Structure 1
């Protein structure tokens, strides 16, 4: 994408408010202050929601903009010199497609950031695990004396970084496929693609289209961090320096060393180029999949000149993020795990496969919600590792059809009550829904908090 010719701008439209939209308006305000030729640029902001988040703040920031509480039309987009979209805007909309066909730039906040920043940047994308990796890198860097700021899909909106007086040593970006759709200028010291599982099929026409959006992260990346267990998702050809990770061992890259501890076979250490850098029992996170997440974090840290052994030592103190295989309690020998962030099949598969080896008794799984067009048959191998399945929500019955003897309940509260009546010492109850939450909850955090409250209430009853 060519650098934006700001001197030619007369009419800019911003699609969508929220955190991203507000940060875009603050960016435009600063741009107008710095460049007097932009003082007469007309800015229109569209958001079809009645009271979009950030509206009052946006008006304070850029009161001269025109705020329209409606959907944009073709005449709006074709009249623009520049269209800036929030990640939730579907770029397949006819009015946007035709604007692109007319050579009108359609970009998001990440592309704006990329065209201006000179900061060292590393980034991660993928269906699952990217938030954990992002916060892990941020934590490790701080422990090792480096200032790394998390931004993008987590943390700060990227454009806020351009206003910081104290520049960080590096920026760690978590990028969604939506954000990557309009990114071309982002230069990265290293980029990682965690994994791919069918997600957002209500936004993409196929899994291949979804994969291609994710692969855009490597467009200008020096080091490519890729998953050995999903080589079918690798871009071809690999033109950057290759660094891989996986659930197996590897003499030249990151991997897992397997062994036998207390008569239980499984991964016992994370390795770098064949050398052990961290034992599994030294990490505070739950599940084997977090040993894989750590490998990605170590590879990205190495790209910003943090020694791998030093980074691994720092990772021992990382406690993880809420709602991601979060151990809520161990009551009467029963483990309750909150993995509400598992909003797709791949996340639930990773959770079950990662947690199953830790369970001496039975694994009870709570699933269901809004499937976003997913083919739940892909969950079948995962369900074979489950002893009792409880389903909730809109698409719960569809998942339940794949499991003999599944139990459908109305809501999460009932699921906890039923699970509590079934468990015995050694069992684990996991909320890992494989679905979005918005049929019964505001978001996955609300769902996870509700699960926590229900579990705490039941544990008090059993005390």
Structure 2
């Protein structure tokens, strides 16, 4: 892609689209931004962009024709079957993702991380470790700060750590990161992507976008899959795993994070020193160590970051303990695999002491995989939201289930069931968009309900 385009069309007026439009303008392009919606908030955006020199057109329909453009930048929220998605498909000019457009103007090495679960935690942890080891690092991408905005602000960075979602990988290639890490792949977003093979293929697009000199960082469980080997090709690869028998380069062994060198294990960090808890977070930490090694840094330099990092809101967040009952907010658990990880992390040895609150918008994924964890760790499942009936039908043989009208009702029922030493775990395992704007609002709603009830 050329460094400058004379006429650029940006699709979608979300955070990524706005940042891309402003970067295009800063690069000297004439920029037009389109969005299908036309709300009072977007009207304010249109006026602001107009004052900056960007033409913003709202309420876009199939009947309208855009001005000629040299290329199109498409936001990750645009579905292929939408008005703007069809416009991009039927255009006769190059189409780029916001990430690819920004990467073409990015002077700093990109450390890109994707996966079904653990992306945000791993990106935040890697950025934290880099900073404490003396590197100037910033986190961008799906984590909330668009890469286009980072590039436009023209900071002085050693590394940009990039969270990459499957939505951001739907557009054609062009990212070219220095390191591409794939944490894991389990069913998610099948309501958008259709099937697991398509979803996996999108995740592997990140590996295919590596330049020949780039490094792949992979969960060792993925290495045996032929499509993964094909995506990696001849590129250099570092593996990680919490399973010692997989012979990964970075591995969990004897309660320590270790590096394998010439068939000998070198201990890097004892997991008891980490603030993060759970086997899945050990896997995230191993991925961070592997990514630092791939970037040419010493993994030992991650020690200060591993010791001091704590996970953010809505990730196994302690809400409080009342009458010896612990309330945990894991609203970020938006799929079944994340739900199972939360159950395992919160479990009490040898007893079913978890009251699970789950439900939300159906993603079209199989729900059966949660049954073993539910049968082992949960004493009850209180189900709410759009897909509560489907959850009940799938889980009722593994755990006693109760259908609840809403989250408030589910919390009230949990309070009735909870006994001393129980844990009330809010791990929805579903998307939030049936009842909430996002998982953040959903998590805050849970916290507010719990705190209010404890005051009453």
- Calculate the TM-score normalised by the size of structure 1: 0.87
Q: How far apart in 2 are the matches of 1:329 and 1:367?
A: 19
Alignment of structure 1 residues 299-310 onto 2, 5 Å: 299-310=290-301
Alignment of structure 1 residues 218-367 onto 2, 5 Å: 218-221=207-210, 222-231=214-223, 232=225, 235-237=228-230, 238=232, 239-249=234-244, 253-258=249-254, 268-273=255-260, 274-356=265-347, 362-367=353-358
Among residues 419, 434, 451, which one is paired with 1:456 in the alignment? 451
Q: Does structure 1 retain, via aligned residues, the 8 Å contact 2:23–2:148? A: yes
What are the superposed Cα offsets for residues 210-257 of structure 1, whole Å, 9 maximum, x if unpaired? Answer: 111111111243221111234448622333222112221265511222
Q: How far apart in 2 are the matches of 1:79 and 1:92?
A: 22
Report what 1:262 is aligned to. Answer: none
Q: How far apart in 2 are the matches of 1:52 and 1:387?
A: 47
Asked if 1:120 corresponds to 2:109, the answer is yes
Unaligned residue ranges in structure 2 (runs of 5+):
none
Asked if 1:111 corresponds to 2:111, the answer is no
Structure 1 residues 233 and 164: CA distance shift in structure 2, 3 A:
farther
Alignment of structure 1 residues 150-161 onto 2, 5 Å: 150-161=139-150
The structural deviation recorded for 1:395 is 0.5
Unaligned residue ranges in structure 1 (runs of 5+):
33-37, 259-267
What secondary structure does 1:277 align onto?
A: strand
The structural deviation recorded for 1:409 is 1.2
Structure 1 residues 294 and 362: CA distance shift in structure 2, 3 A:
same
Q: Does structure 2 retain, via aligned residues, the 8 Å contact 1:193–1:225? A: yes
Report what 2:396 is aligned to. Answer: 403
Q: How far apart in 2 are the matches of 1:53 and 1:300?
A: 40
Report what 1:390 is aligned to. Answer: 382
Q: Does structure 2 retain, via aligned residues, the 8 Å contact 1:138–1:150? A: yes
Q: How far apart in 2 are the matches of 1:346 and 1:234?
A: 22
Report what 2:159 is aligned to. Answer: 170
Q: How far apart in 1 are the matches of 2:107 and 2:354?
A: 49
Q: Mean alpha-carbon deviation: is it higher for 137-146 or for 50-59?
A: 50-59
Q: Does structure 1 retain, via aligned residues, the 8 Å contact 2:10–2:73? A: yes
Q: How far apart in 1 are the matches of 2:43 and 2:286?
A: 41
Q: Does structure 2 retain, via aligned residues, the 8 Å contact 1:409–1:415? A: yes
What are the superposed Cα offsets for residues 339-361 of structure 1, whole Å, 9 maximum, x if unpaired? Answer: 10111122212222333356865
Q: How far apart in 2 are the matches of 1:312 and 1:5?
A: 39
Q: Does structure 2 retain, via aligned residues, the 8 Å contact 1:19–1:54? A: no
Report what 1:35 is aligned to. Answer: none
Q: Does structure 1 retain, via aligned residues, the 8 Å contact 2:99–2:141? A: yes
State the aligned residue count: 440
Q: How far apart in 2 are the matches of 1:83 and 1:93?
A: 15
Among residues 142, 145, 149, which one is paired with 2:131 in the alignment? 142
- Calculate the TM-score normalised by the size of structure 2: 0.89
The structural deviation recorded for 1:437 is 1.2
Structure 1 residues 6 and 309: CA distance shift in structure 2, 3 A:
closer
